[in-house]
Structures are given as structure tokens and as C-alpha cells.
Structure 1
């Protein structure tokens, strides 16, 4: 018989508010910014006033942890669903400030009109209108007695019947006596089970990632500084995208600005690089892989709770050690020298623009974790750069992290942790980068129209690394066009392929038909057949009068074809079919990628 996985109880709102205030229910200050607008807070209060149900909140009880003296410490309840409702109630009924989507502290004041028994978001007009109580929080907190309130209101609104007013205000104050259902998940449940239960009972179908659960666990532990660690992760990720957020932290969070965390991230205030903008999930995963040599965030949740995976008990010393290690991992992640050197490695491999790294978070995260781990293991700097470059490109070309990410991370980091990385890399290359991969597998994989295909993005990186020029360009490089948001164009113009052969989008938008070309060249080429516009390019090499780009030397033109892996046959054979061209260009791109990889 399956054990009970959760309990369901009804609790008074005033009880929940007391638990929040005492910390029995952990709602970290910035567990998530408050995303409701003020009208949603108003509607929640109206539903409670009218006696309508407002749904359940879900908490996950932290396990009781064995302390060093042998005693047990009772675990808090971590709020994993319902934060917006609980935060809304604490804002409207208690008067607490909330952190909004811009990470600014704001006060939400809800007004009440006893005559109309209506709630509204307070505004200057309401404050001036004597028929409104502009802020209900002081009343709900008992700062003004009911009799005094009735007297004051009727003095300002003589037409209001005192008995009716008393009944209305009693109903208003009675909101705190209304009940909200609370589903409490058992402490012994593992994270996979908690995730499954959450999905099944969450009425909105919202899913939480394991990183969400880990962040909740971190923030709920103030003994080992989890609340500040949580802030550090959130703040760093926000600063990486919005450097101006630095001044908000400086002005509004003096407690945090006094920490070493803040000193480690101050450099971001002048940083506008967007090559790698990590989320809190990325940051957690990298720190965990690098400093714990594990890949499954569910294990991190267990370790932060003090789980002994052998005895299946919870021990305080394990929680303490895990928080210390995670803090070290986060600090290493944030360190300016580490972060910038990692970006330098990416750029040295030819990845200079964020467009080359779209949907590459798996390879990016593991590469940064690998960088941090190799540094911790005292590998020479040149070896680290060489290994990280190769591993990152290998991961992209082979789609290494396109499957179940945590399982793959776990497998790789465990293998890497057991011996010399150089020997491990040689074995992986032998197994996955055979001649068959370069000459057959990679060539076949490029039969696609996706401009985000990893082989195409890696090809652009190869062109950047080799300082190659754009197609038919005399001086402008692919790097320059990437950095200045240049355009991808077609060697066989799409309008030409549609007009002459009736090809569909998936056929003319083949990645083997893509090149980076200056816009003015593309405009001049228009929808001409390759044989037509290339004949004029050959002619301009004879006349020294450029029409398409600035190349006026035939040898330089042929070299430009090599730079762009374009078949020379296209110059010599105007009748080369589109199908023959695609086959040959895929082979040339694969060959260039092979040379590029082994040059890293």
C-alpha cells in the first residue's frame, strides 16, 4: 500500500500570516519577484470578502535534521506554489512591501468603500474621497478599533447607517478568519515525486524546474546564509542582463552590499557583454557540476537538506558542508577573472556573437563548469583553454547535450573527475569524431533548412577564427558582419529557385545555400542565377571594375570561395545543378569544420 504523500488542511489566513512572520513558512524576500498587478490583489480580497474559494497553496516540509548533539531540528515549510497569493495577502492585510518585477520595493494599498462594499487600488482621488477607506491594512492589523472606525466614518458620511456600517466592517475584518487550503507535501519525498505531485495538482498546469526547488531550499535556510546566497544568484543573473540594476542594489539593500557576494559581482555594473547571460538555473547547474562533481539538481536539493544518501537520514553537518561548497561554487562562477576568461575562450574559438549560441545552454554550462573544475584541479592555463575550446565545439557538433541534460552532465563529470581530462578527451574524440563522422555523418546532418543548426553555427565560428571574409567581399569579414548584425543570404537566390524550379522554402533555405554577404552585394545580385552574376564577377576581375563586391583578382576570388566553402565548380560550370552544388558544399563545410576543430 502506497504511503500518504501529502496532507490537506484548512488554515485561517491570520494563522498563515503569523507563520510567514515567524518564518514557519519560508517565503524568501526575492524567491520570485511579485508579478501580480495591484488589480489582482484587489480581486483576491474581493473573492475572500464574498466568500469565494481562492485555491490551495502547496508547501513542502523540510525534513527534521539531526544536529551534532544528536537532537532534531524541525524543518520549515517551504512555499512552492501560492507565493503570489500569500505575498498579496501580506501586502494588503499586513502592509508589507513587495519586490516588483523591476526588483523595486513597492507598497500596494487596497482601498474599501463600505457603502458599495467594493475594493479598489488606492489612488489620490480615492484618498480625497471620504466615502473610501484608502488603506485597509491598519484596520486589519487592529491599529484602529471598530467602534472608533465606525464613529469616524459616519462623521464624514452622515447618511451611512451605523448598524449597517458595523456589519460591513466586521465582514471586512473577518477576512483574516477566512480559510485557505494548504497541501503539505511529506518531508521524505524525493524531488522527482514532489515535481510529479506539483504538476498533477497545480490547476494552472505551471511546472517548476528542479532549479526552482533548489532555490527555494537555499533561500529557506538562514542558518548557513542561504537567504543571502539566494540573493547573490538572483542579483548576479539580473545584473548580467541589466547592469544599471547595480545602483538599485546599492541604494536599497545595504545588508547585501556589505557582503563578499556583492564585491564579487560589482564588476558587472560596467559590463554589456551578452554572449553568455546565465539564468539562476544555469548558475546553479554550473556551480553544482564544478564543485560537487554531480549533475542532478535533485541531489543538490537533498544535500542542502542534509541528506545522507547512504543511511537515508538527514544530518546538519551535511547541510552545512553543502551550503559551504555551493557558496564556493557560486563565488567562483561570479569571479570577474573566471567569467571573462571563459568568454575569451569562447571568442578565441570564433563564437563572438550571442546569435551563434542560441539554444546552446547545455554546452555553454558544461564548458564553464569544466573551466572552473580544471582551474580547481590546477591544470595549466594553456591546457585549460585548449580543453575547454575543444570540448565546447565537440559538444555542439555532436549534439552531446541534446538529450536528458542532467543524466549526461552526471555521466561526463563523474568520468572527468576520475582521471586526467586530456586522456578522457582523446578517448571521446576517437569514439565520436571518426572519419565516418566528418565525411558522412556531419555531411548528412547538414541536409536541413535550420539556420540555427549547430554545424552551421560552428562553421561561422570557424570562419571567424580563420578571419575569413564574407562571400564576394574584398575586406569585410564574417566576424564584422556577425558583430554588426549582418544578414544571411543565398548563393542560389531563393526567388530564382522558386521561379525556375518551383522549390519550396525547406528546399531553397538549405544551410548549404547560406552565406554571410554584404547587403549591397546581395541587393546587386538580386534574383539572378549563380552562373549569371558570377560571370560578371569573373569579368570584373579582368576589367578591374567591381560590380559585385570589391574583388578584382581571379586568384583572390577563388580564395574567397575557399573561405566560404563554396565549390570552385560554380565558377567553372554555370550549369552546375542546385542539387550537385548542395552536395559538394556540405562536403566542403564538413572538411573546413574538421580542420577548424583540430586547430583549436
Structure 2
């Protein structure tokens, strides 16, 4: 079997020269330089003392056929070891790095020649060190080609009479010798598939870090200056950053080069956006842009296309790479469009998903936005119906956990079928296949038998209540919507303490979602651990006495309506702990029916 990679030891100076000459690219992906200054100090100390510092992993793109028929050498991209190499570049070469706040800064490491036999030879530069003549305040000065060693030694020994000049020369030799330290480099075979590269990375990486196709795609994008990949990378990063932190716009504005790009005006609107339902990371942006523009669902195909892969001839062509970068750029621009993004969010919110707490699958959101962009860019359906169908697809996908297992394969299938059959026909097929009477009457009832508070089925039930503008339990005028977003409590209809006192101590049982409802805080406190046949009888009685004890409902018709919209069986007034299992089953059936009615009302 052929070797999948080769391993070698290369001097640090040579590696840094490879990077300076761009023979090896270090792409700036989603996380910029995230090491703390102390980690940089520890790396330098390890190199100085001769301790191992792990491997660097380099992926080499296959050779690509240029337009003139010649072959270009595949680009080498560092896919693991970026933080270590960036630490060397800032501490030894004196280069600025982009930190986690997207600011350009240097990390300066100081060295104390008088402490070579002590624990702390290196420290991160601070004000105290700058005033202390014992320290070489920035080791990058020593590594400069124009470093005047003779005059430096004389001056240092003048300020530090305890230091012998010959000894200082030896110490400087050891310090400068860091650049000659060997570091392990694993270069992956350029013919490896994306899956093989991922597998090798995980096996070699001692920390078992997760490397995915989005990371590879971002590496390909960031390393490609020819087709504007470095600028595209920034746009993707900046959008995902602004989506979470709109106030960061002022910091982004300091990047003058980016502010003059075509992307800057497209994301400016995010500085005033406070919506948190869909805060996409770089993987989400890539996935949606790719699926929308390429009609494919597997991210490894994007990696191949950005490298110029011709899927028919199985070789690599420059025109394919160029076209792929162009299409991806268009897809990213479509993703960032304020009108499209905000209207998609409106579609999700109009279905009742008014907070990110109710949206528990990013993949499901990704495909729903992809569907929005596909329908919006075609004439398959009337534009006024797009939000209607997108919200229905989102609910259907959530209820059936469509994109939970093997999501990319399912997305790829959906994209292709929509392109082949048209959305309406395919949507009807999916509805008929997945939402039969058996699903509503049996399958969903069983799915609701869970204690997972973030269950997608419970989230859809809550969305149904929001969509129906339902009043919360025992309250007239206080909406479930308000309790979810502002100050409500999840209440056990059969109180937890009451069930425990009556022998039901398994939390998987008393925390069943069919035993949950949103309730305002004061009512929840008032009910305490009372049995349901106790406090519900009081509620029914107050409709006669008009003396409010629980909630604010005093009309029998309003009370019956309130129980109905909250899926509480009317015979709750007679139920105690012995009826708990019957109650759960009955409420699950009522919840399933409510979800069904809600779905078909969208």
C-alpha cells in the first residue's frame, strides 16, 4: 500500500522562510491567533531547552492544469500547527498577528541571560521588564540580520557587571540556535481524498482535534490570492463575527483594505442587527452559499472544486478553480444580502420560532435558508409564497429530524431532487412519505415521550403556541410568547415535589415534557407542590367565587379554552398521582394534535 504521507525534520528557520516566500501558506481561518501570550513564551522555552513541540501537518493540493496546458505545482497549505508557527513569526520574526479580537498586535518575549540556570529565562514583555537592564526585552531583535552582537554584548556587560562577555556570547549562541531547532513536518500526499486527509489528521493529532471539510475549504479560500480568496475569507469571518457582536463594526472599520472591498457594504447592515435566531459561523455561511450555487450538499465537493477538480476526467484544471471561486463568491454575497437574510428570519419567526432556544439544529436552519435562496432566485413558485413554504419545510425537517443523521447526504439528495422535480412536487412527496396519519397519531405521540427539555418536538409545540398567540396556563392576557422571551418559568403540571412524595422519584419520569408548561412566576410559586386535583379544583371554584387564587381566569368558558390551548385534559381536576401515566399519554396525544393543526395552518 502506498504511503499516504512523508515525515521529515526541518529547521525552524527554513520553515519560516518557506512561509515568508509563500511556498507554504498559513491561511487565516475563522479563529485568528488565539494563543495566550504565556503559551508563546512556553513554546520558545521548550525550543530553547530542546523539548519536543509536536508535528506540523501540511496538505498539498494536486497539480492543476493551467489554461495554456502546462501544470502548476499544487499549493502547500498548513492545516495543523498554525498557532505554533504564528507564535514563532510574532516572537522571533517580529511580525504582527491578528488576535481573537481581530486586532493586529505583536507578542514580545523577553530573555534574561543572567537567569539561564533558573526556571524563568523567558517572560512575556511587561513594563517592569522594560525598566530592568538584565532583560533582553524583545528576542526578535537578536534574530534580526543586522543585529550587532559585539556592541550589544559590550553594552549589556556594562549594565550587568556580573555577566562575563564570553559567557554571554555562548548564551546568545544558544538563543539564536532556536532557529536551527528541528521540528517534525508531515506532508500529506497530494492525491489523498478529503476524507483520507481528515482521518490522518485526527489520528496524528495528539489532542484529537476535530478537523472538518469547512476548515479545509476555508484554508483553500484563504490561501488563494489569485481569485480573491483572502478577501472572501475576511468577508465570511467578519460576517459571522458581526452577527454575534454588532458593536464590533467599529473595530472592523479599522481594516481599511477590507472597507474598500465589495463585501464591506454588503455586511454593514449587521451593525444595527440585534437578532439572535440565526448567528451563522463560517461553516454555515460556506454550506449555504455552496448548496445554493452549486446544487450539491457535500462540503468535500467544494474543497475539490476550489482545487480545480474535474469530476468527469478526475484531473485538476485552473478554469474550474476560477469558476468555483466566482460561484462561491456569488453565493456568499447572496447569503449576506440584507433583504434575503432578514426575510428568512421573518419566515422562521412567523412560524413561532422567536428565539434561538427553540431552534436546536443549525443544519436544519442552514438548509431552510438554502431553500429560501433557491426559491427566491428561481420562478418555481410565487414570491409571496416563499416564506410560507420555507417555514413549513423547516417545521417538517425539525419534526422528522431530517438533517440530524448523515445530514450532508440528505441535503445533497434534497438539493438534487428539487432541481430535478421542482420544489412543489418534491415537497408533496416528502410530506406524503413522512407525515402520514400514523406519524401524527402514533409516531409523534411516541416522540413526545422524552424528558429532554430541548427536544425538537417540545420546541415545535412551543412554536405552535407562539404562532397561535396562546395565553399561558391559567392566565388570560399573558402570552406564552412573552414568558418564553422575558420571564416565564417551565412549570411541572404535576409538581415535582408532589410526585416525589408519592413515590415517583425517577427524574426521567417526572421531567417528561408532557408534564411541562410555561407559567408565570407568581402563579408557579403559589401552586408550589399542590396536587393537580387540588389546585385545578381551586381554579374551577374561583370561576364561581370570583376570588382569584391561581392565575386570573374567572369565567368557565375562558378556563376551558385555556386548558384546551395548553393541551390539558379537562379531567385534570380529578387527577392525583395515581393518574400520572394516564395524564402523560393523554397530554401527548393532545400536543401531537395541536402540532398537526399548527403545521397545516402554516
Give TM-score, length-normalised by structure 1.
Answer: 0.97
- Cα distance, 1:375 vs structure 2: 0.9
Of 95-104 and 524-533, more deviation after overlay is shown by 95-104
- Cα distance, 1:452 vs structure 2: 1.2
Pairwise CA RMSD? 1.3
Residues in 2 aligned to 1:513 and 1:179: alpha-carbon distance in whole angstroms? 63
Name the structure 1 match of 2:408: 406
1:127 aligns with 2:107: no
Name the structure 1 match of 2:368: 367
Secondary structure of 2:263's match? Answer: helix
Of residues 504, 507, 512, the one that matches 2:506 is 504
Residues in 2 aligned to 1:574 and 1:125: alpha-carbon distance in whole angstroms? 71
**What aligned pairs does 1:129-528 form with structure 2 within 5 A after superposition?**
129-251=132-254, 253-358=255-360, 360-378=361-379, 379-528=381-530
Q: 1:316-354 CA distances to partner (integer Å, 9 max, x unpaired)?
A: 000011111111111111111111000000011011011
Residues in 2 aligned to 1:510 and 1:9: alpha-carbon distance in whole angstroms? 57
Secondary structure of 1:549's match? Answer: coil
The answer on whether the counterparts of 2:305 and 2:324 sit within 8 Å (CA) in structure 1 is yes
Of 299-308 and 4-13, more deviation after overlay is shown by 4-13
Residues in 1 aligned to 2:220 and 2:330: alpha-carbon distance in whole angstroms? 17
Secondary structure of 1:11's match? Answer: strand
Q: 1:10-46 CA distances to partner (integer Å, 9 max, x unpaired)?
A: 2121111111112111113455321211111111111
- Cα distance, 1:486 vs structure 2: 1.8
Residues in 1 aligned to 2:376 and 2:182: alpha-carbon distance in whole angstroms? 54
Residues in 1 aligned to 2:295 and 2:307: alpha-carbon distance in whole angstroms? 18
Name the structure 1 match of 2:71: 72
Q: Structure 1 residues 499 and 575, CA, compared in 2 at 3 Å: closer, same or farther? A: closer
The answer on whether the counterparts of 2:487 and 2:521 sit within 8 Å (CA) in structure 1 is no
Q: 1:164-193 CA distances to partner (integer Å, 9 max, x unpaired)?
A: 111111121121122211101111111000
The answer on whether the counterparts of 1:570 and 1:576 sit within 8 Å (CA) in structure 2 is no
The answer on whether the counterparts of 1:443 and 1:587 sit within 8 Å (CA) in structure 2 is yes
Q: Structure 1 residues 30 and 254, CA, compared in 2 at 3 Å: closer, same or farther? A: farther
Secondary structure of 2:92's match? Answer: helix
The answer on whether the counterparts of 1:57 and 1:79 sit within 8 Å (CA) in structure 2 is yes
- Cα distance, 1:380 vs structure 2: 2.0
Secondary structure of 1:459's match? Answer: helix
Structure 2, unaligned runs of 5 or more: none
The answer on whether the counterparts of 2:220 and 2:307 sit within 8 Å (CA) in structure 1 is yes
Q: 1:233-273 CA distances to partner (integer Å, 9 max, x unpaired)?
A: 1111111011111111102x100111121111111111111
Q: Structure 1 residues 578 and 163, CA, compared in 2 at 3 Å: closer, same or farther? A: same
Secondary structure of 1:308's match? Answer: coil
Residues in 2 aligned to 1:434 and 1:448: alpha-carbon distance in whole angstroms? 22
Secondary structure of 2:475's match? Answer: coil
Residues in 1 aligned to 2:139 and 2:575: alpha-carbon distance in whole angstroms? 82
Q: 1:174-221 CA distances to partner (integer Å, 9 max, x unpaired)?
A: 211222111011111110000011011111211211111111111111
Residues in 2 aligned to 1:418 and 1:191: alpha-carbon distance in whole angstroms? 28
Structure 1, unaligned runs of 5 or more: none
Aligned residues: 597
The answer on whether the counterparts of 1:332 and 1:338 sit within 8 Å (CA) in structure 2 is yes
- Cα distance, 1:571 vs structure 2: 3.5
- Cα distance, 1:485 vs structure 2: 4.2
Residues in 1 aligned to 2:471 and 2:312: alpha-carbon distance in whole angstroms? 58
Q: 1:412-445 CA distances to partner (integer Å, 9 max, x unpaired)?
A: 1111111221111111111110100000111111
Of 571-580 and 462-471, more deviation after overlay is shown by 571-580
- Cα distance, 1:575 vs structure 2: 8.6
Residues in 2 aligned to 1:47 and 1:82: alpha-carbon distance in whole angstroms? 15
Q: 1:479-527 CA distances to partner (integer Å, 9 max, x unpaired)?
A: 1111114221011111111112333111111111111111111111111
Residues in 2 aligned to 1:325 and 1:135: alpha-carbon distance in whole angstroms? 46
Residues in 2 aligned to 1:574 and 1:75: alpha-carbon distance in whole angstroms? 72
Name the structure 2 match of 1:531: 533
The answer on whether the counterparts of 2:96 and 2:104 sit within 8 Å (CA) in structure 1 is yes
The answer on whether the counterparts of 1:31 and 1:219 sit within 8 Å (CA) in structure 2 is no
The answer on whether the counterparts of 1:13 and 1:179 sit within 8 Å (CA) in structure 2 is yes
The answer on whether the counterparts of 1:569 and 1:576 sit within 8 Å (CA) in structure 2 is no
Name the structure 1 match of 2:39: 40
- Cα distance, 1:148 vs structure 2: 2.1
Q: 1:276-330 CA distances to partner (integer Å, 9 max, x unpaired)?
A: 1111111111111111111111110000000011111110000011111111111
The answer on whether the counterparts of 2:30 and 2:282 sit within 8 Å (CA) in structure 1 is no
Residues in 2 aligned to 1:385 and 1:178: alpha-carbon distance in whole angstroms? 60
Residues in 2 aligned to 1:326 and 1:361: alpha-carbon distance in whole angstroms? 20
Residues in 2 aligned to 1:239 and 1:190: alpha-carbon distance in whole angstroms? 34
Q: Structure 1 residues 258 and 530, CA, compared in 2 at 3 Å: closer, same or farther? A: same
Secondary structure of 2:142's match? Answer: helix
The answer on whether the counterparts of 1:28 and 1:220 sit within 8 Å (CA) in structure 2 is yes
Residues in 1 aligned to 2:30 and 2:397: alpha-carbon distance in whole angstroms? 33
The answer on whether the counterparts of 1:481 and 1:516 sit within 8 Å (CA) in structure 2 is yes
Of 137-146 and 525-534, more deviation after overlay is shown by 137-146
Residues in 2 aligned to 1:393 and 1:554: alpha-carbon distance in whole angstroms? 34
The answer on whether the counterparts of 2:502 and 2:577 sit within 8 Å (CA) in structure 1 is no
Residues in 1 aligned to 2:561 and 2:5: alpha-carbon distance in whole angstroms? 69
Name the structure 2 match of 1:106: 105
Residues in 1 aligned to 2:583 and 2:30: alpha-carbon distance in whole angstroms? 55
The answer on whether the counterparts of 1:469 and 1:475 sit within 8 Å (CA) in structure 2 is yes
- Cα distance, 1:119 vs structure 2: 1.3
Residues in 1 aligned to 2:126 and 2:216: alpha-carbon distance in whole angstroms? 37
Q: 1:50-86 CA distances to partner (integer Å, 9 max, x unpaired)?
A: 2222111001012221111111222221111001110
Residues in 1 aligned to 2:48 and 2:177: alpha-carbon distance in whole angstroms? 8
The answer on whether the counterparts of 2:499 and 2:577 sit within 8 Å (CA) in structure 1 is no
Name the structure 1 match of 2:596: 594
Runs of 4+ in 1 over 3 A off after TM superposition: 571-576
The answer on whether the counterparts of 2:33 and 2:97 sit within 8 Å (CA) in structure 1 is yes
